[in-house]
Amino acid sequence: MKRIAVVLAFASASAFAVEPVPYPEGYRAWTHVKSMLIQQGHPLYDAFGGIHHLYANAKAMRGYRTGKFPAGSVIVFDLLEAKSADGAVQEGARKVVGVMHRDAKKWQDTGGWGFEGFKGDSKTERAVDANAATACYGCHTQKKEGGFVFSGYRQ
């Protein structure tokens, strides 16, 4: 009996575990999609205040072009502090590296996308972890028609 209980507990834990999203190695050399500055007074300031840049790997670029993001598409939301002085806004320290990683099987509960945030310049400190459904997917469902992606490629 004891052995069966252990096996069931293990099976149950793995059924609910969310597959971790890998750190997007080398994303700074990927294609720059677009940028935006979010300032005080914007409804998303607390979460996303600063300058952000979006980057896409080659598969995600195919997704922006065709509207269908293939497995392996990765989009990075790179959020930096915005330092304002003397009429210029410059990039400051990195706040978070947000990631969307496409795999319809691994992340079927969140629209086929894995969501994660890596704190500052860390490749291991996770800001989202098991909370993707509420912390990310909740808003991204608004964009179901666009494959759950908010951004579009700016020429």
Interaction site with a second copy (CB under 8 A):
28-29, 31-32, 34-43, 45, 51, 53, 55, 86-91, 121, 154-155
CB of 45 to a second copy, least distance (A): 7
Let me know the angle formed at the C-alpha of 152 by 151 and 154, rounded to the nearest 5 degrees.
Answer: 120
CB of 116 to a second copy, least distance (A): 20
Cα–Cα distance, 97 to 79 (Å, whole number): 6
Tokens (6 digits) for 25: 């190695």
Is the CB of 110 or the CB of 151 nearer to a second copy? Answer: 151
CB of 99 to a second copy, least distance (A): 17
Is the CB of 91 or the CB of 103 nearer to a second copy? Answer: 91
Cα–Cα distance, 21 to 49 (Å, whole number): 23
Own/partner contacts of 95-98, CB < 8 Å, gap of 24 or more, are 95/50, 95/120, 96/120, 96/127, 97/23, 97/24, 97/27
CB of 34 to a second copy, least distance (A): 6
Is the CB of 133 or the CB of 146 nearer to a second copy? Answer: 146
Is the CB of 91 or the CB of 129 nearer to a second copy? Answer: 91
Contact criterion met (CB below 8 Å) for 150 and 143: yes
